[in-house]
Homo-oligomer: A and B are copies of this chain.
Amino acid sequence: MSDHLKNHIARFVKIPEQDYPEILKYFTVTELAKKQNVLSEGRICKCNYFVIKGCLRLFFITEKGVEQTVQFALENWWLADYTSFSTQQPSDFYIQAVEKSEVAALDFSSQEKLLERFPLMEKYFRLIHQRAHAAAQFRAKFLHSLSREQYYHHFNNLYPEFVQRIPQYLLASFLGFTPEYLSEIRSKRIS
């Protein structure tokens, strides 16, 4: 099964080697086609997704009918609509594979059982969410302190591989740019 997931867990918590086969049984590894949705607005976010390969995004559709991305998850990141997932109530969001992807999906009741059976996994998920909480604090800081152009360059410095991989119209929408403005910034840098 997924060595990626095992290695990721091992970076955060010390789990005895012999427990991994049982832990990994709670997950379902799934291949997703490019643009395949695993969550749609109005449906319940049944799973918490760990990205083994590829990229997922969380987005919603604005009143004007435009898809607005609010979060991306590359390899080794987790993604769910955590409001819908934790309450098991309908979601306001969509989750979609940006490219052909492979995910380890943990459905809500499996997560509850896993956490009960292996309490060390509480620590793992505590650290995952704490890191996301910390990232949200920094994102708020950058949104308030950087111009849109600076924000793009900051993003490009932090995640160069990501910026290369993501379709430009998605990156522009995530950063709050028009695609035209993004190509303008990019061409400025190259020239």
User: Which residues from chain A sit less than 8 Å from chain B, CB to CB?
Assistant: 58, 60, 62-63, 68, 70-71, 81-83, 86, 92-93, 115, 119-120, 122-123, 125-127, 129-134, 136-141, 143-145, 176
The reply to whether B125 and A70 contact each other, CB–CB distance below 8 Å, is no
The reply to whether B83 and A144 contact each other, CB–CB distance below 8 Å, is no
* A58: chain B residues within 8 A (beta carbon): 137
The reply to whether B137 and A81 contact each other, CB–CB distance below 8 Å, is yes
Q: How far is the CA of A89 from the CA of B126 in the complex (A)?
A: 20
The reply to whether A137 and B82 contact each other, CB–CB distance below 8 Å, is yes
Given A92-B141, A125-B130, A136-B139, 5 new contacts (CB under 8 A): A86-B134, A119-B119, A122-B123, A129-B130, A129-B133
- Interface hub of A58, A83, A144 (most chain B Cβ within 10 A): A144
- Interface hub of A62, A115, A140 (most chain B Cβ within 10 A): A140
What are 26 A-B residue pairs whose CB atoms fall within 8 Å in the complex?
A58-B137, A60-B144, A62-B144, A63-B145, A68-B141, A68-B145, A70-B137, A70-B141, A71-B137, A71-B140, A82-B130, A82-B134, A82-B137, A86-B127, A86-B134, A93-B141, A122-B123, A123-B126, A126-B126, A129-B132, A129-B133, A132-B133, A132-B136, A133-B136, A136-B139, A144-B176
The reply to whether B132 and A126 contact each other, CB–CB distance below 8 Å, is no
* A176: chain B residues within 8 A (beta carbon): 144
The reply to whether B62 and A145 contact each other, CB–CB distance below 8 Å, is yes
